[in-house]
Amino acid sequence: MVRALFALLVALAFGPTPSAAEEVVLGLSKDRVAITARFDGSDILIFGAVKRQAALQDDPLQVVVTIAGPSEPVVVRRKDRKLGIWVNAAAVEVDAAPSFYAVATSAPWADSLSEVEDLRHKVSIPRAIRSVGAPAEAGNSQDFTDALIRIRQANGLYQVAENAVDFREQTLFSTSVSMPSNLTEGSYVTRIFLTRGGNVVSEYETTIEVDKVGLERLLFTMSRQQPLAYGLMSIAIAVLAGWGASTAFRLMRQG
Protein backbone atom coordinates (compact mmCIF):
# COMPACT_ATOMS: atom_id res chain seq x y z
CA MET A 1 0.00 0.00 0.00
CA VAL A 2 2.79 2.43 0.93
CA ARG A 3 4.71 1.51 -2.22
CA ALA A 4 1.60 2.11 -4.35
CA LEU A 5 1.04 5.53 -2.79
CA PHE A 6 4.71 6.43 -3.37
CA ALA A 7 4.43 5.42 -7.03
CA LEU A 8 1.29 7.52 -7.33
CA LEU A 9 3.02 10.62 -5.96
CA VAL A 10 6.02 10.10 -8.27
CA ALA A 11 3.70 9.83 -11.26
CA LEU A 12 1.89 12.94 -10.12
CA ALA A 13 5.07 14.95 -9.82
CA PHE A 14 7.08 13.70 -12.80
CA GLY A 15 4.54 12.26 -15.21
CA PRO A 16 4.17 13.59 -18.76
CA THR A 17 2.31 16.83 -19.31
CA PRO A 18 -1.35 16.03 -19.99
CA SER A 19 -3.35 17.54 -22.80
CA ALA A 20 -6.12 18.43 -20.33
CA ALA A 21 -5.75 20.93 -17.50
CA GLU A 22 -6.83 18.28 -14.96
CA GLU A 23 -6.27 14.54 -15.18
CA VAL A 24 -6.80 11.45 -13.02
CA VAL A 25 -3.87 9.45 -11.64
CA LEU A 26 -5.20 6.18 -10.20
CA GLY A 27 -4.14 3.38 -7.87
CA LEU A 28 -5.77 0.10 -6.75
CA SER A 29 -5.13 -1.92 -3.60
CA LYS A 30 -5.36 -5.04 -5.80
CA ASP A 31 -5.95 -5.65 -9.50
CA ARG A 32 -6.81 -9.35 -9.19
CA VAL A 33 -9.35 -11.21 -7.03
CA ALA A 34 -8.95 -14.97 -6.58
CA ILE A 35 -12.09 -17.01 -5.90
CA THR A 36 -11.37 -20.02 -3.68
CA ALA A 37 -13.48 -22.38 -1.59
CA ARG A 38 -13.17 -19.99 1.37
CA PHE A 39 -13.79 -16.79 -0.61
CA ASP A 40 -16.38 -14.65 1.19
CA GLY A 41 -15.92 -11.36 -0.63
CA SER A 42 -13.23 -8.75 -1.03
CA ASP A 43 -12.83 -5.02 -0.40
CA ILE A 44 -11.11 -3.05 -3.16
CA LEU A 45 -9.46 0.23 -2.17
CA ILE A 46 -9.43 2.73 -5.03
CA PHE A 47 -7.25 5.79 -4.54
CA GLY A 48 -5.77 8.46 -6.74
CA ALA A 49 -5.02 12.09 -7.31
CA VAL A 50 -5.78 14.94 -9.66
CA LYS A 51 -2.81 16.07 -11.73
CA ARG A 52 -3.33 19.64 -12.85
CA GLN A 53 -1.47 22.25 -14.87
CA ALA A 54 -3.53 25.23 -13.72
CA ALA A 55 -4.69 26.79 -10.48
CA LEU A 56 -7.76 25.52 -8.66
CA GLN A 57 -11.02 26.89 -9.98
CA ASP A 58 -13.81 28.29 -7.85
CA ASP A 59 -16.23 25.63 -9.09
CA PRO A 60 -15.10 22.47 -7.27
CA LEU A 61 -14.39 19.10 -8.85
CA GLN A 62 -16.28 15.93 -7.95
CA VAL A 63 -15.23 12.29 -8.32
CA VAL A 64 -17.41 9.40 -9.53
CA VAL A 65 -16.11 5.82 -9.36
CA THR A 66 -17.72 2.78 -11.02
CA ILE A 67 -16.85 -0.92 -11.09
CA ALA A 68 -18.73 -3.08 -13.61
CA GLY A 69 -18.62 -6.86 -13.88
CA PRO A 70 -19.09 -8.77 -17.15
CA SER A 71 -22.40 -8.01 -18.87
CA GLU A 72 -24.74 -10.82 -19.85
CA PRO A 73 -28.36 -11.32 -20.99
CA VAL A 74 -30.84 -11.87 -18.16
CA VAL A 75 -34.41 -13.20 -18.31
CA VAL A 76 -36.66 -11.44 -15.81
CA ARG A 77 -40.01 -13.09 -15.06
CA ARG A 78 -43.11 -11.66 -13.46
CA LYS A 79 -45.21 -13.84 -11.17
CA ASP A 80 -49.00 -13.58 -11.11
CA ARG A 81 -51.47 -15.19 -8.72
CA LYS A 82 -53.81 -17.58 -10.52
CA LEU A 83 -56.27 -19.84 -8.71
CA GLY A 84 -54.44 -19.12 -5.47
CA ILE A 85 -51.05 -20.19 -6.84
CA TRP A 86 -48.14 -17.93 -7.82
CA VAL A 87 -47.00 -18.85 -11.34
CA ASN A 88 -44.60 -17.36 -13.89
CA ALA A 89 -46.40 -15.03 -16.25
CA ALA A 90 -44.76 -12.53 -18.60
CA ALA A 91 -41.00 -12.61 -19.16
CA VAL A 92 -38.59 -10.08 -20.63
CA GLU A 93 -34.98 -10.70 -21.70
CA VAL A 94 -32.73 -7.83 -20.68
CA ASP A 95 -30.16 -7.61 -23.48
CA ALA A 96 -27.13 -6.91 -21.27
CA ALA A 97 -26.82 -6.32 -17.55
CA PRO A 98 -23.58 -6.15 -15.52
CA SER A 99 -23.20 -9.12 -13.18
CA PHE A 100 -21.89 -6.63 -10.60
CA TYR A 101 -22.07 -2.84 -10.57
CA ALA A 102 -20.97 -0.33 -7.94
CA VAL A 103 -21.10 3.48 -8.06
CA ALA A 104 -19.48 5.76 -5.50
CA THR A 105 -19.47 9.56 -5.55
CA SER A 106 -17.81 12.37 -3.62
CA ALA A 107 -21.05 14.38 -3.47
CA PRO A 108 -24.78 13.81 -3.82
CA TRP A 109 -25.62 12.30 -7.20
CA ALA A 110 -27.38 15.42 -8.47
CA ASP A 111 -24.21 17.47 -7.83
CA SER A 112 -21.86 14.88 -9.33
CA LEU A 113 -23.16 14.15 -12.83
CA SER A 114 -25.73 15.64 -15.16
CA GLU A 115 -28.38 13.59 -16.96
CA VAL A 116 -26.73 14.34 -20.30
CA GLU A 117 -23.34 13.09 -19.13
CA ASP A 118 -24.94 10.05 -17.51
CA LEU A 119 -26.60 9.22 -20.83
CA ARG A 120 -23.31 9.71 -22.69
CA HIS A 121 -21.06 7.69 -20.36
CA LYS A 122 -23.67 5.24 -18.95
CA VAL A 123 -22.63 5.75 -15.33
CA SER A 124 -25.75 5.12 -13.24
CA ILE A 125 -27.08 1.60 -12.78
CA PRO A 126 -30.16 2.04 -15.05
CA ARG A 127 -27.92 3.46 -17.81
CA ALA A 128 -25.47 0.56 -17.46
CA ILE A 129 -28.25 -1.91 -18.28
CA ARG A 130 -29.24 -2.31 -21.94
CA SER A 131 -32.83 -3.34 -22.57
CA VAL A 132 -34.37 -2.73 -25.99
CA GLY A 133 -37.98 -3.43 -25.12
CA ALA A 134 -40.56 -5.97 -24.08
CA PRO A 135 -43.26 -8.00 -25.85
CA ALA A 136 -46.61 -6.26 -26.01
CA GLU A 137 -48.16 -8.74 -23.58
CA ALA A 138 -45.44 -8.05 -21.01
CA GLY A 139 -46.26 -4.38 -20.63
CA ASN A 140 -43.67 -1.78 -19.66
CA SER A 141 -40.13 -3.20 -20.00
CA GLN A 142 -38.83 -0.64 -17.46
CA ASP A 143 -40.77 -2.47 -14.74
CA PHE A 144 -38.71 -5.60 -15.42
CA THR A 145 -35.45 -3.63 -15.41
CA ASP A 146 -36.41 -2.00 -12.10
CA ALA A 147 -37.17 -5.45 -10.66
CA LEU A 148 -33.76 -6.74 -11.76
CA ILE A 149 -32.06 -3.78 -10.08
CA ARG A 150 -34.00 -4.32 -6.83
CA ILE A 151 -33.11 -8.03 -6.73
CA ARG A 152 -29.42 -7.47 -7.36
CA GLN A 153 -29.25 -4.60 -4.89
CA ALA A 154 -30.73 -6.91 -2.24
CA ASN A 155 -27.99 -9.47 -3.05
CA GLY A 156 -25.22 -6.88 -2.82
CA LEU A 157 -24.47 -7.09 -6.55
CA TYR A 158 -25.62 -3.54 -7.36
CA GLN A 159 -24.44 -0.75 -5.07
CA VAL A 160 -24.84 3.03 -4.99
CA ALA A 161 -22.81 4.95 -2.40
CA GLU A 162 -23.24 8.73 -2.50
CA ASN A 163 -20.68 10.82 -0.58
CA ALA A 164 -18.53 7.68 -0.20
CA VAL A 165 -15.47 9.05 -2.02
CA ASP A 166 -13.15 10.95 0.30
CA PHE A 167 -11.88 13.88 -1.80
CA ARG A 168 -9.29 15.98 0.03
CA GLU A 169 -8.14 19.43 -0.99
CA GLN A 170 -9.52 18.83 -4.48
CA THR A 171 -6.45 16.64 -5.12
CA LEU A 172 -6.38 13.26 -3.33
CA PHE A 173 -9.33 10.86 -3.37
CA SER A 174 -10.07 7.38 -2.07
CA THR A 175 -12.96 5.00 -1.63
CA SER A 176 -13.55 1.34 -0.81
CA VAL A 177 -15.88 -0.95 -2.75
CA SER A 178 -17.12 -4.18 -1.16
CA MET A 179 -17.32 -7.04 -3.65
CA PRO A 180 -19.57 -9.92 -2.47
CA SER A 181 -18.77 -13.64 -2.52
CA ASN A 182 -21.11 -14.44 -5.43
CA LEU A 183 -18.96 -12.80 -8.09
CA THR A 184 -18.91 -13.81 -11.75
CA GLU A 185 -15.52 -14.58 -13.26
CA GLY A 186 -14.11 -12.06 -15.73
CA SER A 187 -12.77 -8.54 -16.17
CA TYR A 188 -14.29 -5.85 -13.96
CA VAL A 189 -14.01 -2.47 -15.65
CA THR A 190 -13.15 0.32 -13.21
CA ARG A 191 -13.79 3.90 -14.29
CA ILE A 192 -13.05 7.18 -12.53
CA PHE A 193 -14.68 10.40 -13.68
CA LEU A 194 -13.66 13.91 -12.70
CA THR A 195 -16.64 16.21 -13.04
CA ARG A 196 -17.28 19.91 -12.63
CA GLY A 197 -20.78 21.34 -12.67
CA GLY A 198 -22.05 17.88 -13.61
CA ASN A 199 -19.85 17.69 -16.71
CA VAL A 200 -17.04 15.17 -17.18
CA VAL A 201 -13.63 16.86 -17.47
CA SER A 202 -11.44 13.74 -17.25
CA GLU A 203 -11.92 9.96 -17.32
CA TYR A 204 -9.63 7.05 -16.42
CA GLU A 205 -10.29 3.34 -17.00
CA THR A 206 -8.60 0.14 -15.82
CA THR A 207 -9.63 -3.46 -15.04
CA ILE A 208 -9.71 -5.82 -12.08
CA GLU A 209 -9.48 -9.53 -12.96
CA VAL A 210 -11.66 -11.98 -11.02
CA ASP A 211 -10.63 -15.63 -11.45
CA LYS A 212 -11.36 -19.01 -9.91
CA VAL A 213 -8.23 -20.76 -8.67
CA GLY A 214 -7.29 -24.20 -7.31
CA LEU A 215 -10.03 -26.82 -7.04
CA GLU A 216 -12.73 -24.33 -8.06
CA ARG A 217 -10.94 -23.69 -11.36
CA LEU A 218 -10.54 -27.46 -11.98
CA LEU A 219 -14.21 -28.19 -11.34
CA PHE A 220 -15.40 -25.21 -13.36
CA THR A 221 -13.23 -26.16 -16.35
CA MET A 222 -14.30 -29.81 -16.16
CA SER A 223 -18.00 -28.89 -16.03
CA ARG A 224 -17.60 -26.88 -19.25
CA GLN A 225 -15.13 -28.98 -21.21
CA GLN A 226 -15.89 -32.50 -19.94
CA PRO A 227 -19.52 -32.51 -18.78
CA LEU A 228 -19.83 -36.33 -18.87
CA ALA A 229 -16.79 -36.83 -16.62
CA TYR A 230 -18.00 -34.04 -14.34
CA GLY A 231 -21.43 -35.66 -14.04
CA LEU A 232 -19.98 -39.11 -13.28
CA MET A 233 -17.63 -37.62 -10.68
CA SER A 234 -20.53 -35.76 -9.03
CA ILE A 235 -22.54 -39.00 -8.83
CA ALA A 236 -19.56 -40.86 -7.37
CA ILE A 237 -19.02 -38.18 -4.73
CA ALA A 238 -22.71 -38.24 -3.80
CA VAL A 239 -22.68 -42.06 -3.48
CA LEU A 240 -19.53 -42.01 -1.34
CA ALA A 241 -20.93 -39.27 0.88
CA GLY A 242 -24.16 -41.21 1.37
CA TRP A 243 -22.29 -44.42 2.15
CA GLY A 244 -20.00 -42.60 4.59
CA ALA A 245 -22.93 -40.99 6.40
CA SER A 246 -24.78 -44.33 6.59
CA THR A 247 -21.69 -46.11 7.95
CA ALA A 248 -21.07 -43.42 10.55
CA PHE A 249 -24.70 -43.53 11.69
CA ARG A 250 -24.60 -47.34 11.98
CA LEU A 251 -21.40 -47.25 14.06
CA MET A 252 -22.91 -44.63 16.35
CA ARG A 253 -25.96 -46.84 16.98
CA GLN A 254 -23.77 -49.85 17.68
CA GLY A 255 -21.64 -47.86 20.10
Burial class from Cβ neighbours inside 10 Å (0-12, 13-18, 19+) for residue 91 reads: middle
- Mean pLDDT calculated for residue range 77-86: 65
In the DSSP assignment, the letter for residue 135 is -
Q: Which of 6-20, 95-109, 177-191 has the highest mean pLDDT?
A: 95-109
- What pLDDT score was predicted for residue 10? 44
* Euclidean distance between the first and the last CA atom of the chain, given in angstroms as a whole number: 56
- Asked if CATH classification 3.20.20.60 holds for the domain at 2-212, the reply, yes or no, is no
pLDDT higher than threshold 90 for residue 246: no
Give CA–CA dist 49/113, Å, rounded: 19
pLDDT higher than threshold 70 for residue 14: no
pLDDT for 101-149, tens place per residue? Answer: 999 999 999 999 999 999 999 999 999 998 765 554 555 677 888 889 9
Segment 222-230 long-range contacts (CB within 8 Å, at least 24 positions apart): none
pLDDT for 201-243, tens place per residue? Answer: 999 999 988 876 545 544 555 555 666 665 666 677 777 777 7
Contact 91, 126 (CB under 8 A): no
Question: What are the sequence ranges of the domains in the chain?
Answer: 2-212, 219-254
Instruction: Give the Å distances, CA to CA, from 203 to 98, 114, 117, 200.
Output: 20, 15, 12, 7
Average pLDDT, the chain: 78
DSSP readout, 175-242?
EEEEE-SSPPSEEEEEEEEEEETTEEEEEEEEEEEEEE-THHHHHHHHHHH-HHHHHHHHHHHHHHHH
- What pLDDT score was predicted for residue 5? 46
pLDDT band at 20 (very low <50, low <70, confident <90, very high): low
Beginning with the edge strand found earlier in the chain, give each strand of the sheet holding 199-212 in spatial order. 32-35, 199-212, 186-196, 61-68, 101-105, 158-161
Question: 120: how many CB neighbours lie within 10 A of its CB?
Answer: 13
